[in-house]
Each structure stands twice: as C-alpha cells, then as structure tokens.
Amino acid sequence: MKIDPQLLIFAKSLRHFATDAEQLMWQLIRAKQIMNLKFRRQHVIAPYIADFYCHEIGLVIELDGSHHGTDDAIAYDAERTKFLEALDLKVVRYWNHEVLNKTDEVLEDLWEICLKLKGDK
C-alpha cells in the first residue's frame, strides 16, 4: 500500500515541533537504549502517525496531553488503538505529565512491556 506523501511530510514536520514530553522520551529510547530495540518517532502507520514505534516487537508508544481527555479525543484514540491492535501491534499510552514528572516509573513500565513483547516474539 502506497503511503500518502502528505502524511509523510506531516510526520516529518511533527518531529520538528515535538512536545517536551516527546523530546524527553526520544532522548530515553533513541539509539537502542532500551534492550537494544530500535524505535522510530512520528512513524506513519497509515492512516495514522505513531509518536514512537518499534517494528521488532510491534510496539506503539503514544504520549497524550490534556486535550486527549475530551470525549471526542477519547473516542478517536479508542478507534485508533483498535485499528493498530488489528495490525497485531501493542499500543501503550502515557500522559505527558507522567513522562515529565514520573520518568523512572514510565521507563520501568516501558521496560516491562518491552521485555514481555520480546519474549512473545
């Protein structure tokens, strides 16, 4: 399936306007720092763009700001998660404030998820 070039351009632009939480997460997971796993950021899984994606274990990491708490956003995120899970991907979500204020807890949780997924592969 050919990916819409506009989606690729938009994903690239998102990398330049990352939130503080996205920037921190990227510094923590880039360059195979977690279990030697390669993560990509703002990766297109048409028709969506995943904040972070690891192909090897089929993991999508989403970081959510306060706007994800609205009814419309909750419904959209649920639909998006259902779509990604239908592709046999595991979707995990963290709130931005968790990444920024409880970084160690988020990393510990992420480590456990990666360990389980790696064992399942």
Of 20, 100, 36, 95, the residue nearest 61 (C-alpha):
95
- With vertex at residue 62, the alpha carbon angle to CA 58 and CA 66, rounded to the nearest 5 degrees, is 165
4-50 tens-digit pLDDT = 777 676 677 777 778 899 999 999 999 888 899 999 999 988 788 89
Instruction: Please report the pLDDT score of residue 98 as a whole number.
Output: 95
Please give the Cα distance from 58 to 11 (Å, whole number): 19
Task: Report whether pLDDT(77) > 60.
Answer: yes
Task: Report whether pLDDT(67) > 70.
Answer: no
Please give the Cα distance from 21 to 38 (Å, whole number): 19
- Whether the bond between 47 and the residue before it is cis, its omega within 30 degrees of 0, is yes
Percentage helix, strand, coil for the chain under 3-state DSSP, each rounded to 5? 55, 20, 25
Of all residues in the chain, the percent with pLDDT exceeding 90 is 56
CA distances (Å), 48 to each of 27, 35, 116, in order? Answer: 23, 26, 25
Domains delineated in the chain: 19-40+51-120 (3.40.960)
Of 34, 33, 35, 51, the residue nearest 43 (C-alpha):
51
46 in Cβ contact with 7 (< 8 Å): yes
Task: Report whether pLDDT(108) > 80.
Answer: yes
